[in-house]
Amino acid sequence: MEDRNTFIVRCGEVALKGLNKPYFERMLVERIKKVLKKFENTEVKRHEGLIFVRTPEDLNSEMVIKEISKVFGVASISPAVETVSDIDEIGNAAVEYMLDIINKRGIKTFKVNAKRADKNFPVKSPEIGRIIGAKVLKGCKVLKVDVHNPECMLFVDVRRDKSYIFEQKISGFGGLPLGTNGKGMVLLSGGIDSPVAAWMMAKRGMLIEAVHFHSYPYTSERAREKVVDLAKLVAGYCGNFKMHIVNLLPIQEMIVQNCPEEETTILVRRFMMKIAEKIALETDCGMLITGENLGQVASQTAEALIVTDESVKMPVMRPLIALDKVDIMDIAKNIGTFETSILPYEDCCTVFLPKHPTTKPKLAKILESEGKIDVDKLIEDAIAIKEVISIYPD
């Protein structure tokens, strides 16, 4: 049998799901299998509250870890050495493991952290730690024990069938597995916020679909490409999804011609929400998702959001609503969307921007302005010519 690399994958919040835990674990296994499908001869199995991934020895471990860490529901990953659950065999494997680390990193100190998951194993956890520590000291003459600040924490996990030796616990994003919490329609722009909002909702287990608004030819083809690039980055976490691309320009022109200038922004936003809701209903999405952040711009004041929400019946999720802009930027950098988001290409929100947009719109006045244009016909025409593209991770 060929040599295999072993990875221990730990569940985060999934572990707290009580009687529903097996369902969430199965979904997590399926998501991991899906992201590793690109690699041949990989194995993903759930066993004793952990998920074990085994891959061919010649497959780059860092690449495997990178893919697994993107799967929502994964708390941490540990590349591990697998051995039989015999104290002497565990000791021999630990010595070999530590010699390899010494050769690679030149460490001088270590500490053993042993856990006996199999309570029928004849040696208790503290004694396992002492025995393995003694074997490592004997087999690795350059090492000393440092219980306070070791250069290497050597974990020993003793289980019924196999035991595992590892040192790293590489953090994942946690959250819940995709597909365990419905489906939402995200209004995806080319900015910093909406990709982060999509990512945050997907982290809670929600599948996403997207709608993007443009104002071609006022917005360029390159601006559109930027959004597609952003969507691909989001798909690296959220899985494949469809993006509906809608030209908003005829609606914007009609608003500018017939409505008060200061109301332009809020009126356009209401049209976006109405269109997104119609597409969401056609695609089995249960809610809308936006990157709005309270008070960030004129259309995101409390009063403006209330008027915006009145335009739809569907729930509107705003995961960024109370975050500071710096916090949102930090998340964008962490998930790799920030550099694309700040590329200097215009979006539809900058077209026909009023000099003094209203920050405290009154619903009655907004409805009066909408009464001057054929809202239903404009929405119908916009949806009729929308484009739908499939988004896949790069």
What domains appear along the chain, each with residue ranges and CATH number?
4-171 (3.30.2130.30), 183-391 (3.40.50.620)
- What local confidence, expressed as pLDDT, does residue 218 receive? 81
Per DSSP (E only), the strands in 167-325 are 170-171, 183-187, 207-214, 241-247, 287-289, 316-317
| pLDDT digit string (tens) for the chain, length 394 residues | 357 899 999 987 766 666 788 888 899 999 999 999 999 999 999 988 899 999 999 999 999 999 999 999 999 999 999 999 999 999 999 999 999 999 999 999 999 999 999 999 999 999 999 999 999 999 999 999 999 999 999 999 999 889 999 999 999 999 999 999 999 999 999 999 999 999 999 999 999 999 999 988 888 889 899 999 999 999 999 999 999 999 999 999 999 999 999 999 999 999 999 999 999 999 999 999 999 999 888 788 999 999 999 999 999 999 999 999 999 999 999 999 999 999 987 776 666 777 888 989 999 999 999 999 999 999 999 999 999 999 999 8
pTM for this structure?
0.90
Amino acid at 373: I
CB 205 within 8 A of CB 178: yes
Classify the phi-psi angles of 310: left when phi > 0, otherwise alpha if psi is within -120 to 50, otherwise beta.
alpha
**Which tokens sit at 290?**
């936006």
| DSSP-derived pairing of the beta strands 152-158 and 109-116 | parallel
Question: End-to-end distance of the chain based on CA atoms, in angstroms?
Answer: 33
- What local confidence, expressed as pLDDT, does residue 1 receive? 39
- What local confidence, expressed as pLDDT, does residue 220 receive? 83
